[in-house]
A and B are shown apart, each in its own frame.
Chain A
Amino acid sequence: MAKKFYLTKEGLERVKKEYEELKKLKQIKTSGEKPEILHSEDLNPEYLAMQEDLMFLDFRLRELENILKNVQLIKPPPKEKRNVVDLGAKVTLEDEEGKINEFMIVESLEANPSEGKISYESPVGKALLGRKIGEKVTIVSPIKVVYKIKKIKYQLD
């Protein structure tokens, strides 16, 4: 079975935008003047570079097509399960000194930890997934970091 990609609405928009931009780029690249295959007696590096570009462009386009075909929008879980961390949850954590930290759990495709969005496949994401409010979570690095889950919030439509 094909792998499902769980994205937020914004994440899906971003993938669609990239797909359209790359399609346009491919059109521009293939419609213009093509470099000669041979340069003197050697293969023309410009030709090779263009072929390589097109190859990766095609690859990325296929990858995005696959995402769009198998995408599933992240929906908030039913009310009784909203106290458990799942994809799309915004989790508020408290460390042992009482400092607050917050993450949103997303697919790798959407992750940007600088903005607080972490992948559910990262060690921190994995440690949080499936845990409930009030539970203590240990993130193991050379020194253990312990957090208490204070709040779990889902964006409701």
Chain B
Amino acid sequence: MDSILRFLVEVNKLKETIRTGWIIWRVKNPETIAEHIFRVSFLTYCLGWKKGLNLKRAIQCALSHDLCEVYAGDVTPLFYYENLDVRKKRDREILMKGIRLSKEEKEKMSKIKFENERKSLLKLIQPLKENLRNEIFFRWLDYEKGFSAEGKFTRQVDWIENLIQSLEYLGPKKSGRGWWEIAEEKIFDPLLLEFLKVIQIKFYHRKTFPKSTQEKELKGILEFILKIGKLKRMERTYWKAWGIKNAESVAEHIFFTSLLAWIFGREKKHLNQTKLLKMALSHEISAVIIGDTIPYIEKLPSQIKKRKEILKKWPRLPEYEKAKRFLRQYNKEKKAMEKLTLSLEPGLRKEIISLWEEYRKVSSAEAIFLNQVNVLAVLIQGVLYHKKYKITLTPLFEWAFEKCDDPILLSFLEKLSKL
């Protein structure tokens, strides 16, 4: 198997790996690692934009930060303490209460965790070519060790995403202990400290209003990020229509597409990589408002047999009908994008909407490329579902053969068809 394909098939496992912390807290249907990476990446984009960071580097740090968990699993450093076992009630209680540890103990456990994750990442990226392998490894290392401003920033954003998720899942009271303590201990960036304050106001002092312009803008980002969180566990309609249980979510698809955009986009020297990554993150967020959709198909029968009959072939339509349906969908998504981004400050809002617009209209070099990368992301998932659930791949390949003309992506498609 092609080295990149082998790597991507392994990374795809992150879409099925539930984050351990939520299992301990008995959260129903909790997020996967891929979904967490998606929101860390988007939060990094929004806050990094405000901070004026190198967003290509920052988003790449975010996208790579948990790749090691394909083999290492999602493990908090505490798991290395006295061999705690989440399956044992007593151990779970200890973890939920949180353990007060000395600085030396914490350092020792973090060291073990780091080594374990380093080895896992190296195993994962081992099949890749040297320059790509190094790029992924150094972005991850940057996140771990904070060599650059972007690495330091993303690591702190990761803690913030954990905190926001805990507040959403457990509510302000339960989340109060562990996550706040960790966030207050780990976060030192002035902008992120202010963002913490805004989170506190939102969840604990609802009647307090932000005072400064900066606070208002950060509140806008928080509102937006909370909405974006709905894409976690929002199963993709196409897979659901095939009857797949616990199908890939929109957030997982966005994470995977963004990773693909990074890996294949780096070969395209004429493309603006930062723009490509930001576009990949924004390309399907309108689903928060209108739900996930399938191209051309507006309604499917409820009976699974009839539904599968329709899905067996890619829709055949006259050109005017394609254009009509596209325009209808485009207008719906545009309205959704405007509504979804309403809380953001004008500059950032305009950027996200125009990135989405370019993508949907296929109106720039980056959009042409990303549209094809998106097909590839769907196809990889399709091939894996085909192996597991025997779904028909013909319509997806038909779609891909209409959409793709990039030589690198076409040769990858060829390999995929033989998998």
* A residues at B contact (CB < 8 Å): 14, 18, 35, 42, 45-46, 48-49, 52-53, 56, 59-60, 63, 90, 92-93, 95, 99-104, 108-109, 111-116, 118-125, 139, 141-143, 145
Contacts and interface: CB of A to CB of B under 8 A. Distances in A.
B404 A52 contact: no
Contacts of B274: 49, 52-53, 56
5 A-B pairs with the lowest CB-CB distances in the bound complex, closest first: A141-B397, A101-B316, A46-B52, A121-B405, A56-B272
Contacts of B401: 122-124, 139, 141
15 contacts: A14-B363, A53-B274, A56-B274, A63-B365, A95-B316, A103-B319, A108-B368, A111-B405, A112-B361, A114-B360, A116-B322, A122-B405, A124-B398, A141-B397, A145-B398
A4 B149 CA distance: 44
Interface in B362-412: 362-365, 368, 393-394, 397-405, 410
Nearest to B362: A112
Contacts of A42: 149
A150 B322 CA distance: 18
Nearest to A92: B318
Contacts of A125: 405
B417 A108 contact: no
B270 interface: yes
A109 B410 CA distance: 17
A63 B269 CA distance: 12
A18 B402 CA distance: 25
Contacts of B53: 45, 49
Contacts, number: 115
Given A52-B56, A122-B404, 4 more contacts: A45-B54, A114-B295, A118-B403, A119-B405
A119 B318 CA distance: 17
A50 B316 CA distance: 45
Contact of B326 (A101, A115, A122): A115
Given A114-B295, A115-B323, A116-B322, A142 B394 contact: yes
Given A95-B316, A108-B405, A124-B402, A114 B270 contact: no
Contacts of B393: 141-143
Contacts of A49: 52-55, 274
Contacts of B317: 100-102, 116
A18 B367 CA distance: 13
Interface of B: 51-56, 149-150, 270, 272, 274-275, 295, 313, 316-319, 322-323, 326, 329, 360-365, 368, 393-394, 397-405, 410, 417
A104 to B, nearest CB: 6
Contact of B319 (A46, A53, A102, A139): A102
B323 A111 contact: no
Given A42-B149, A108-B368, A141-B401, A99 B322 contact: no
Given A45-B52, A52-B274, A123 B404 contact: yes
B322 A63 contact: no
Given A99-B316, A114-B295, A141 B405 contact: no
Name the residue among B274, B295, B323, B361 with the largest chain A CB count within 10 angstroms: B323
A126 to B, nearest CB: 9
B326 A114 contact: yes
Contacts of A99: 313, 316
A83 to B, nearest CB: 19
A137 to B, nearest CB: 12
A113 to B, nearest CB: 5
Contact of A142 (B149, B275, B399, B417): B417
B331 to A, nearest CB: 13
A59 B364 CA distance: 13
Contacts of B399: 113
A55 to B, nearest CB: 9
Nearest to A50: B52
A118 B54 CA distance: 35
Contacts of B51: 45
Given A102-B317, A115-B322, A142-B393, A122 B402 contact: yes
A123 B275 contact: no
Given A49-B53, A56-B272, A115-B322, A141 B394 contact: yes
B127 to A, nearest CB: 24
Contacts of B316: 93, 95, 99-101
Nearest to B360: A114
B367 to A, nearest CB: 9
Contacts of B397: 141-143
Contacts of A103: 319, 402
B369 to A, nearest CB: 10
A113 B401 CA distance: 10
Contacts of B55: 49
B324 to A, nearest CB: 9
Contacts of B362: 111-112
A16 B408 CA distance: 28
B313 to A, nearest CB: 8
A121 B410 CA distance: 10
A145 to B, nearest CB: 6
A85 to B, nearest CB: 14
